[in-house]
Amino acid sequence: MPEAADRDRRRRNRKVLIRLSWTVLAALVALLATKGTDWLTSEHDARVASEADDEADRAGPAFSASVRLDVQYPEARIFDAPFSPQDTKTLLAMRPEGDPLTPFYAAHHARGVSFTDVHHPAMKVASPGYSEEWRVDILSDRKASLVITDMRIKGLTCTPAKATTVISVRGQAGGSYEGMFFDLSRSTTTPLITGDEEPHYGEPFFKYKKIDLGNGATPEGLRVQVTSGTQDCSWKAFETRYVDANGEHTQDITDNGKDFTVHGLSAHPQQAFEVRSYGPFVHECKILGGGRFGC
């Protein structure tokens, strides 16, 4: 019987209300289903996008490193050959006026070296000769954090040192700067801490320190000193070990694609001189045993 024929008005209204309720419920279910699908889809899309971003962030090298040999303030110069009697006479006759040493250094192919950290007792260097130093600037543009936890010499080869002559400058030493120090005659895998203010001076660098990169961290400027005693050495790279959210990895730092080289002083030096600010400007030193000099 048609609904219009139902003479009970309350029953008729109840039926209409029930139908409206079912219509509204069906609409709500449809809406929720659509929104739920959209939410699931957006969650999936966001997850996929995040994974893609993470993968892109990890693509390529973890960091970049610019390397330069620091020769600005050498404490001494070493030379492959002894000076001739005439050159020795010229050197000893020099006076502090002007800058007589610079052209002399250039003419004899001097190499600038340092000795402050090499000669420090805490370093326990077996053959206290000289060191060379590199400035290494490390930068990572990754969004995620990473930490360098180790650094070592990779691909090392050495031969007896060619340098037989040294000119040191008394008072030229500027103190020890914060950084790390490799003694190749002892270890290629354990850099030591340098720096006058360091409480753990001369102890393993990565026992007390780490290098934080990525996630907006400030670029790290590192001083790396290397001494080779009585040998001339070259190596392919500094191999770093770093840790990120995916575990442990390695990456090499090279000298702009070239090998690194460091020069020692012969086990049997032939000449040594010292530049002073008092008395004779250049003083000739006595050659003592064990590569030591009496100046």
113 in the same domain as 134: yes
Which pLDDT score is estimated for 51?
A: 45
Same structural domain, 43 and 9: yes
Please say whether the beta carbons of 131 and 115 come within 8 A: yes
Residues 10 and 49 in one domain: yes
Domain boundary among 34, 57, 80: 57
How would residue 143 be classed by pLDDT, with cut points 50, 70 and 90? very high
Number of domains into which the chain is organized: 2
Range of the domain at 47: 3-57
My answer on whether 285 and 162 are in the same domain is yes
Measure Cα distances from 265 to 71, 149, 164, 167, 211 in Å. Answer: 17, 32, 6, 12, 32
Residue 81 has pLDDT above 70, yes or no: yes
Q: What percent of the chain has pLDDT over 90?
A: 65
- pLDDT band at residue 16 under the 50/70/90 scheme: low
Domain finish residue from 12, 40, 57: 57
On whether both 31 and 144 belong to a single domain, the answer is no
* Structure token pair of residue 237: 């790279």
Q: What is the pLDDT of residue 35?
A: 66
Higher model confidence: residue 42 or residue 214?
Answer: 214
My answer on whether 50 and 84 are in the same domain is no
State the chain's mean pLDDT as an integer. Answer: 86
Q: Which of 57, 77, 95 is the last residue of a domain?
A: 57
Structure tokens at 92: 């000893």
| 248 in the same domain as 135 | yes
Domain shared by 47 and 123, yes or no: no
pTM confidence score: 0.78
The CA distance from 162 to 234, in Å, is 14
Query: What's the pLDDT score for residue 42?
Result: 59
| φ and ψ of 182, to 5 deg | -105, 130
Confidence check: pLDDT of 233 > 50: yes
**Helix or strand or coil: residue 203?**
coil
State the pLDDT at residue 66. 93
Both 233 and 128 in one domain: the answer is yes
Which of 34-38, 100-104, 149-153 has the weakest average pLDDT? Answer: 34-38
pLDDT digit string, tens, across residues 84-94: 999 999 999 99
End-to-end alpha carbon distance in the chain:
127
Per-residue pLDDT tens over the stretch 17-63: 667 666 766 666 666 666 666 665 555 554 544 444 445 445 589 99
What is the reported pLDDT for 149?
Answer: 97
Same domain, 179 and 103: yes
Stated as kind and residue range, the H or E segment containing 68 is strand 64-69
The answer to whether residue 72 scores a pLDDT higher than 90 is no
CA distance 263 to 135: 17
Please tell me the number of Cα atoms within 13 Å of 219 on its side-chain side: 11
Kindly report, residue by residue over 176-196, the tens digit of the pLDDT: 889 999 999 999 999 999 998
Query: If you average pLDDT over residues 208-233, what whole number do you get?
Result: 93
